[in-house]
Homo-oligomer: A and B are copies of this chain.
Amino acid sequence: MPFAQDESELPSPSSGSSSSGVTVTGSHPGDRYVRYVPANDLPLKPVGARYYVADVTAPKEGFGRLLYRLERVLIGRQLSWAEAKHERLNKVRALAILSSDAISSTAYATEEALRILVLAGLVGYSAMLSVGIAIVLLIAIVAFSYSQTIMAYPEGGGTYHVTLENLGKYPGLVAASALLIDYTMTVAVSISSGVAAVTSAFPSLYPYRVEIAVAAIAFITLVNLRGVRESGTVFVLPTYAFIVSMYVLLGLGFAAWLGILPLHPHPVRYPMPEAVQPLTLFLILRAFASGSSALTGVEAIANGIPIFKEPQTRNARITLVWMAGILATIFFGIHILTYHFHLVPSDEETIVSQLARTVVGESPFYYFIQAATAGILFLAAETAFADFPRLSYLLARDRFLPHHFRFQGDRLAFNTGILVLGVLTSLLVIIKQASVTALIPLYAVGAFSAFTFSQTGMVVHWWRMPDRHRHIHSMVINGIGAVATGIATIVIIITKFVYGAWMVIIIVPLLVAMMAAINHHYRSVAEQLRLSPIELRQRTKRPIRRSTTAVVPIASLNRASYWALEYARMIARDVTAVHVAVEPESGEILRKRWEEAGLDIPLVIVESPYRELIGPLVAVIEKIHREKGCPFLTVVIPEFVPAHWWERILHTQTAWRLRRVLSHIPDIAITGVPYHLVR
């Protein structure tokens, strides 16, 4: 019984309470006010004798049971609070898991930059190296900056958290919106790129890339609903497979280039497109903006400090350095070799695939490289499936998103966030036809604005420290980082504006406005509902002064409505019955029956020649309410419940409609008295 094993998680029962009996007085002063009643029925089991503890239940029979079993097979056994696991990882595993997003972006960064440059034709290649060097510099700066963040936030410095704390509510919301977009785009771009790796190796699958991508997203969604143990080996392998195969590939490529090995690479030759633009600075900046997608994911280590073994910050910083180094070298290696072989971007084959085929031909190793590429990209998408729901949980906890994002499902996963992400990314992939080039403009904006917010927040963080003079160099590093990423953000926005970045510019303010409105609403509700302890005491001391008045809408006199009349008499002294006649004779018919029965409950009849029911009924209820001096009114609505669910549509849902309208009137309680039909 899982809930009994880890009792340290549950509030401890006070000693001295017996395990049977109706009301138990324990040693706790308030005990006589809490009812401890033991019971042996499933699904409720007593623990000690104070509480009930609920266990899981399966439906007994029928379709419900079938669905339940299916869910268990797909998703697994339900987990209780006590089973939430928190493991710590060593640096090797942590590197694999946390750097998959960053390192996987080398699969498309060079290619996207080159796509822009070849718009200038052959002459575009001359700018390649400059762009590559700029990106590598940026990697270094950002890595250094996040190293500072690690030191400042040893519990994990998420961008949202850092910004909210240091820059305030609205910057925090903007950063959060940028992050949500970033994570969504990470999934879309990574999945699309992974599918591109597959279709490069198997070109016959190219027409089905959208379907494959959506299927991959559905699979990852399901896996996450199961609650992924992210430390598993299955998560470590793809990253190292990719890293190792990339280094081997790059090594062979350079060896061939420098003549060290007697390899004869056959460069893959796609036709060079015509030059359609001159090689302007703007074009080079556009290329830089696309290539800077290499940096996406660099913040992951700073966010994920809690999973490191002790000493956490030191291990995290070391891993960060490793990650930055691997990222920079693989990126620049691909970049240089692509330049050397003058590979041409194509829709049907990725640059990495072309490079691999150039150096090693269509050998088994080539297929291994493609598989590893796809693997690390899916892994990158998976990490976003962990980050997005976690962020939406934090936002919901801070009351910026609806409650629903807080709830953990059967497997302790944040179901709402996972499902929302799965649906959003599926739609995105379908609309953009799984094209990385179409998705890149939205991707880079979100990522780099998040960087900028994070770094700026860090500068403010150091500034606010009482001993700020001791942190000058941290401030400078983060300042350079903020400026560099800020410039990059602006460049990206300007160069990508017409290609899709404008959407982000529109979505972010909308998201921020929505989150602020949600927050305002929740606070307003909390404020209006709050009952301070003092007020509570005062109210409890006050005697209950009044009784309720009942009104019973009656359509016709039958068992169900008579039941409602009896209930009304049970709870109130003053009972009035109301009948709205939508057909001409029904009022008279009811009145006669009322007399024959000798009922001593007053009957009010409303003729409704325009055949309206709810309007006149509510109007007369309000009238009665006013006439009786506005007591607390209870409207007792007779209902009958058919024996089978499909029969419900045969009965107009008047009770529900009435209830909805009445719920808008203050001081009215609405009671449904269901009469159950057996056949």
Q: A518-B650, A569-B544 are in contact. Are A584 and B10 (CB under 8 A)?
A: yes
How does the 8 Å CB contact mask read for A593-615 relative to B, with 1 for contact and 0 for none? 11111111011111111111001
> Which of A9, A50, A570 has the most CB atoms of chain B within a 10 A radius of its CB?
A570
CB distance from A397 to the nearest CB of B (A): 11
Assembled-state Cα–Cα distance A39/B664 (Å): 23
- A61 in the interface (beta carbon within 8 A): no
- A30 in the interface (beta carbon within 8 A): yes
Are A616 and B52 interface neighbours, CB within 8 A?
Answer: yes
- A436 in the interface (beta carbon within 8 A): no
CB distance from A561 to the nearest CB of B (A): 9
Assembled-state Cα–Cα distance A518/B602 (Å): 35
Are B562 and A619 interface neighbours, CB within 8 A?
Answer: no
User: In the complex, what residues of B have CB within 8 A of residue A537's CB?
Assistant: 596-598
Are A604 and B52 interface neighbours, CB within 8 A?
Answer: yes
Q: CB-nearest residue of chain B relative to A604?
A: B35
User: In the complex, what residues of B have CB within 8 A of residue A44's CB?
Assistant: 606, 616, 619-620, 623
How does the 8 Å CB contact mask read for A49-69 relative to B, with 1 for contact and 0 for none? 011111111000000000000
How does the 8 Å CB contact mask read for A97-116 relative to B, with 1 for contact and 0 for none? 00000000000000000000
- A471 in the interface (beta carbon within 8 A): no
Q: Among A138-146, A227-235, A527-535, which stretch is in contact with chain B?
A: A527-535
Are B640 and A54 interface neighbours, CB within 8 A?
Answer: no
User: In the complex, what residues of B have CB within 8 A of residue A541's CB?
Assistant: 598
Assembled-state Cα–Cα distance A557/B632 (Å): 21
- A547 in the interface (beta carbon within 8 A): yes
Q: Among A161-169, A183-191, A355-363, A641-649, which stretch is in contact with chain B?
A: A641-649
- A43 in the interface (beta carbon within 8 A): yes
Assembled-state Cα–Cα distance A209/B487 (Å): 60
Assembled-state Cα–Cα distance A470/B404 (Å): 79
- A567 in the interface (beta carbon within 8 A): yes
Are B675 and A663 interface neighbours, CB within 8 A?
Answer: no
CB distance from A640 to the nearest CB of B (A): 7
Assembled-state Cα–Cα distance A114/B544 (Å): 87
- A454 in the interface (beta carbon within 8 A): no
User: In the complex, what residues of B have CB within 8 A of residue A605's CB?
Assistant: 34, 50-52
Of B9, B604, B611, B615, which one neighbours A57 at CB under 8 angstroms?
B615
- A21 in the interface (beta carbon within 8 A): no
User: In the complex, what residues of B have CB within 8 A of residue A659's CB?
Assistant: 672
CB distance from A583 to the nearest CB of B (A): 8
Are A51 and B587 interface neighbours, CB within 8 A?
Answer: yes
How does the 8 Å CB contact mask read for A558-569 relative to B, with 1 for contact and 0 for none? 111010001101
CB distance from A6 to the nearest CB of B (A): 10
CB distance from A62 to the nearest CB of B (A): 14
Q: Which of A615-633 contact B (CB under 8 A)?
A: 615-616, 619-620, 623, 627, 632
CB distance from A333 to the nearest CB of B (A): 49
User: In the complex, what residues of B have CB within 8 A of residue A79's CB?
Assistant: 610
Assembled-state Cα–Cα distance A610/B412 (Å): 9
- A264 in the interface (beta carbon within 8 A): no
How does the 8 Å CB contact mask read for A1-20 relative to B, with 1 for contact and 0 for none? 01100000111000000000
Q: CB-nearest residue of chain B relative to A617?
A: B54
Are A664 and B641 interface neighbours, CB within 8 A?
Answer: yes
Q: A54-B580, A647-B521 are in contact. Are A607 and B10 (CB under 8 A)?
A: yes
Assembled-state Cα–Cα distance A3/B616 (Å): 15
Q: CB-nearest residue of chain B relative to A668?
A: B674
- A464 in the interface (beta carbon within 8 A): no
Residue ranges of A at the interface with B (Cβ–Cβ < 8 Å): 2-3, 9-11, 29-30, 33-35, 37, 39, 41, 43-44, 47, 50-57, 78-82, 402-404, 407-410, 518, 521-522, 524-525, 528-531, 533, 536-537, 539-541, 544, 546-548, 557-560, 562, 566-567, 569-572, 576, 580, 584-585, 587-588, 591-600, 602-612, 615-616, 619-620, 623, 627, 632, 634, 636, 639-642, 647, 649-652, 659, 663-664, 666, 668-679
Q: Which 3 A-B pairs have the closest CB atoms?
A: A30-B595, A80-B609, A54-B616
27 contacts between A and B (CB under 8 A): A10-B584, A29-B595, A33-B599, A33-B602, A34-B602, A34-B603, A35-B604, A41-B623, A44-B619, A51-B607, A52-B607, A54-B615, A55-B610, A81-B584, A521-B647, A525-B677, A529-B677, A531-B562, A533-B597, A536-B562, A537-B596, A541-B598, A548-B571, A666-B676, A668-B674, A669-B674, A671-B672
